[in-house]
Amino acid sequence: MQTFDVIVIGAGHAGCEAALIAARLGRRVAVVTLSVERIGRLSCNPAVGGLAKGCLVREIDALGGAMGEVTDATTIQFRRLNTRKGLAVQASRAQVDIALYPATMTRRLRAARGPDGEPAVHLIEGEASEVLTSAGRVTGIELHDGRRLAAPAVVLTTGTFLGGVLHRGAEQTSGGRVGEGAAYALSRSLWGLGIRMGRLKTGTTPRLRAGSIDWSRLEAQAENVRPGEPGSRFSFGPPAPRPGSIQCFLAYTSEATHEVIRAGLVDSPLYTGAITGRGPRYCPSIEDKVVRFAERTRHQLFLEPEGLSTDQVYVGGASTSLPAGSQDRFLRSMVGLEQCEVLQYGYAVEYDFVDPTQLGHDLQLRAVPGLFLAGQINGTSGYEEAAAQGLVAGAHASGAPLRLGRQDAYIGVLIDDLVTRGIGGEPYRMFPSRAEHRLHLREDNADRRLTPIARGLGLVDDTRWGTFEAHAARIRELTATLERPLHPSRATNEQLSTLGIPALTRTVTLRALLARPEVDATQVSPLFPESDLAALEQVEIDVKYAGYLLRDGQRRAEASSLSAVCLDTLDFSSIVGLSTEVRERLDRGRPATLADAARMPGVTPAALDAIAMTLIQRG
């Protein structure tokens, strides 16, 4: 029997981050995957980031994770979202080469080394069939072929493979992804451990042959930020050269498209009852769009070439499980796609997940010590949410207590939502609106928020720490110059005029000038000695949002005071004034702090008062 410090089951985005962070912490790691040729695959869209998701990627990078660096090294188009809004709420999205991304991530896993210089990550091909325990604690796993691996910590990152079934029309196929199998024995093993589980659904879109599309009749969508500009990459480390660039295009459905789709609903597993798991409301299938938004005469689709060496095009916004014939017809009803050739038809996948309210904030099952869960097994959707959970689970499985609060990171919001509130019956997706402190939790300051925490836990190496310290020093230096006065002299006003800034009529500070809504970092950079534009942009955000951030800081301090009230040893059954329902919720969820209890569904203000009174009486 082979022995490891940590076993990771699954090699998707969660599994890769879990394995790499465990290796960084000096652990000997086994990664068990159905196919070592399919590590880090982008199962759905060939893109990373987006609203809130882009911030997750930057937080992963700030904590020593790999997703940001791998994305930057394989980006073929980069866009900034929300550019008509303030800098604090803008977001990043990168389209990546669908072949280069997993290849680059696989190289990262193979290159990981332990303190002795030997490989730290061992890739093992096979199907995990059982979680082994002794006295209620994890001891390892058994593979389908009878091999056993021993470890005191196991991280499950099974994605959509746990009991996976693919649906396309009336056709049903066992699998977690097209062309791959599913894990049924492992699902039974989890049921046998008494773990509460459920069923969810997600889906993907058709892929088209690029040469069959009439691109001249489609609307081009070029990237809106140039390489090298601030905000043109995810990683806070040294910039990586891009492999190339591509252009995306927009297409639109029509009334004719909708008629084809409505006619095909009789064969859609979403409407025949063949699918019982609930899908993501915020990312509906094309069938759902047509039915739920019947008043709309068209829907926008995104045609995204999947890479530099493939002829395959992803049709964003057209997730479907209609039969192949219906897919052909509705696609060919659109302008520019009349002769399109489908290389892979869309399908839905239904899979098992674990109710995440059974987990602690370390993503460890409370009932099974040593068993950690990350990614879609916890009811989430998205590469970024999975990677974030994988990093946290891998750190805790390796003994590093990476606990992030809602006031610290989007990752903290994500995990707290999962373990205290659950997913609400549908796949969970990160949105800016889920974060109470979103003006503080920005993409630009993820390193300032999190890298010192990561350094303290050993997640960040000397090279990355040196880069962070140098960047932080530049920000401090620029901030120190903000009180320098600018007088309304002829020379000053002539310089401002060349920068597109109105002439001064009175003396102002650089801070006051930069605080103006119409002035940006690019304009004023010549006024700062040896300015670093990336650092200056962060200073600009700090200045423009100073008032908001002050008030938010007060709210974060109040939230921290609640988080300091520990409930770990409290017997909820002994508290007078709690209803039976609230007691059951608290016993099942076992909130660690009063703040955690306050966020649990069904825990009323009166119940919180009763808990607080009990704590006061007990001193």
DSSP single-letter state for residue 354 = E
Tokens of 470: 């140098």
pLDDT for 562: 64
Beta bridge partners of 600: none
Tokens of 387: 């990677």
pLDDT for 274: 81
pLDDT for 283: 78
Tokens of 389: 């959970």
pLDDT for 340: 97
Residue with token string 């992030």: 404
pLDDT for 435: 87
Report, as ranges of residue numbers, the positions in the chain whose pLDDT lies below 70: 558-560, 562-564, 605-606, 609, 618-619
pLDDT for 462: 94
Describe the strand order of the beta sheet including 197-204 as a list of residue ranges. 171-174, 165-168, 347-354, 197-204
Return d(Cα 464, Cα 68) in angstroms, integer.
Answer: 13
Return d(Cα 608, Cα 596) in angstroms, integer.
Answer: 11
pLDDT, one tens digit per residue, over 279-336 is 777 778 999 899 989 899 999 999 999 999 999 999 999 999 999 999 999 999 999 9
Return d(Cα 470, Cα 199) in angstroms, integer.
Answer: 48
Packing angle of the helix pair 53-62, 67-74 (nearest 10 deg): 110
Residue with token string 């002769």: 339
Give 514-523's long-range contacts (Cβ < 8 A, gap of 24+): 514/482, 514/539, 514/540, 514/543, 514/544, 515/543, 515/544, 515/546, 517/544, 521/230, 523/499
pLDDT for 271: 82
The pTM assigned to this predicted structure is 0.90
All domains of the chain in start order, with CATH: 2-203+351-457 (3.50.50.60), 207-348 (2.40.30.260), 462-548 (1.10.10.1800), 564-617 (1.10.150.570)
Residue with token string 């089951």: 9
